[in-house]
Amino acid sequence: MSGFLVFRRLLRLVWGVVGLVGISLALACGWPSYPEFSAEARAYFDAIKANDQPLKTPRPGEWRHENHEPGQTLEQYQDLAITRPDSVHRTLYLLPIGHFSPLQKQVLEATRQYLQHFFQLPVTLLAAVPDTFVPKVARRRGVEGQEQLLAPYILTHHLAGKLPPDGLALMALSPRDLYPKPEWNYVFGLASYPDRVGVTSLYRLQDTRLTAANYTRCLTRLLNLSSHELGHMFSLRHCTFARCAMNGTNSLAETDGTPNRLCSECQTKLYWTCRYNNRQRLLALHTFFQNHQLKTDASLASHDLKRLPAVTRP
């Protein structure tokens, strides 16, 4: 079993138990009427809904083929104890752990900018700390000879309890490969949602080594993985409504086919929690995608912009 599948199944355990009660009743309610939203916000979500792309029939081995999740409506989302920004807790933190090349530092800064646009919240990239705090018993050599760090050790011994006073979440980033426990080969990352901390590895996202040739592919993957996992920290579950950044995936290949766009339903949830200017967010994301030559995501954002009523000011 791949490390990516292990990662997703570990996350599934967190969400699977809490998502089963009352699901079928809520799913029968259909598209939400957004009773708490302004007319402008309702117009925005109704407009971009037309651009939601239907999910394809899953193939064996893909996430939805192996995991039959019921989905999450806006009403179900609103019933959860949601992590949400307030006057004090408004910042997302990224913590680099280890030594990063100039190109890796560039991809981290780009990710910081993206997450700031995505969540419309301040995102701080902290100064890198050495990974020397990880002892020998939490290190090993992988099957390719690469050094690997034990992800749970980083969570429990370095990140738990380290969330800054104004922080909403803390995500560590490592250039080294990670593993979740001795019997598994690797994992892309691991998170503790109650503690709102997580750690993600760049190692496999960059196909073991980041170069100018694979920079864009690595960036696209890191944007998807980081926004997806932080989305979980905001109580967004895996999306079963349309093609979406919150779709569950079982492999890196499946992730590569996932857009860096929240579907209209998942956008309503994030907006309900963070309350930002929808048009401003979309414009910022569109500009980011263009500046970083992410053509597919730029095209999706452009199509959404074209759907908006000229007077919309969500």
Q: Which residues are catalytic?
A: 229
Task: Name the one residue in this structure whose structure tokens are 């200017």.
Answer: 277
Are the beta carbons of 241 and 52 closer than 8 angstroms? yes
Are the beta carbons of 188 and 178 closer than 8 angstroms? yes
H helices within 39-155, ranges in order?
39-49, 63-66, 74-78, 102-119, 151-154
Task: Name the one residue in this structure whose structure tokens are 């138990």.
Answer: 17
| Number of Cβ within a 10 Å radius of residue 20 | 11
Helix (H) or strand (E) holding 284: helix 278-291
The rounded distance, in Å, linking the Cα atoms of 252 and 217 is 11
Burial bucket for residue 9 (CB in 10 Å: 0-12, 13-18, 19+): middle
The rounded distance, in Å, linking the Cα atoms of 111 and 116 is 8
Partners of 93 in the beta sheet? Answer: 124, 170
In angstroms, the Cα distances linking 151 to 62, 138, 145, 188, 202 are: 24, 9, 18, 9, 13
Are the beta carbons of 171 and 230 closer than 8 angstroms? yes
What Rg, from alpha-carbon coordinates, does the chain have?
19
